[in-house]
Amino acid sequence: MTTDRNGELKTTVLILKYTFGIVPIVAGLDKFTDLLTNWEQYLHPAIVSMLPFSPHAFMMIVGIIEIVAGIIVLRKPEVGGLIVAAWLTSIALNLLAGGHYLDVAVRDLVMAVSAFAMARLAKLV
């Protein structure tokens, strides 16, 4: 691989690292404020019925997980990318099972593939 291509690869990984690091942190923080959206609307009703606490408390736990995942991406993208890919896939499966927000489910699956690709690329730089 030439130096120019290696530089391009590093830049690409850097862009993806900051995207998949910052976005989960922002989304995670928003679980505490609901400024972007009411996150509880995306929960499958079967999951809500199984919760031993309120949906809002569950979403705050989700927020903490997302913040931690974003931090891991920023520190170790080859590991964090796999975590974010798995997380986004689980969110998409929840949405698909509910039969609602199918556009968001598809978007999350595309982002999961992108996060997985970032993790693979991060191993090369």
- Domain residue spans in the chain? 3-122
| Pick from 47, 77, 78: nearest CA to 61 | 47
Residue that is written with structure tokens 């690869």 in the block = 9
* Banded model confidence at residue 17, pLDDT cuts 50, 70, 90: very high
**Cα–Cα distance between 92 and 55 in angstroms, integer?**
18
CA angle 113, 30, 80 (to 5 degrees): 35
**Cα–Cα distance between 109 and 124 in angstroms, integer?**
24
Q: Which pLDDT value is given to residue 2?
A: 59
* Banded model confidence at residue 120, pLDDT cuts 50, 70, 90: very high
pTM: 0.91
Arithmetic mean of pLDDT over the chain? 95
Q: Which pLDDT value is given to residue 24?
A: 97
3-state secondary structure of 100: coil
**Cα–Cα distance between 5 and 80 in angstroms, integer?**
24
**Residue 3 pLDDT more than 80?**
no
Once rounded to an integer, what is the mean pLDDT over residues 103-110?
A: 97
Show the DSSP H helices in 1-125 as ranges. 3-30, 45-50, 55-75, 77-98, 102-122
Percent of the chain with pLDDT over 90: 90
Once rounded to an integer, what is the mean pLDDT over residues 57-76?
A: 98
**Residue 1 pLDDT more than 60?**
no
Q: Which pLDDT value is given to residue 62?
A: 96
Q: Which pLDDT value is given to residue 14?
A: 97
DSSP annotation of 51 = -
User: What are 74-91's pLDDT values in tens digits?
Assistant: 999 999 999 999 999 999
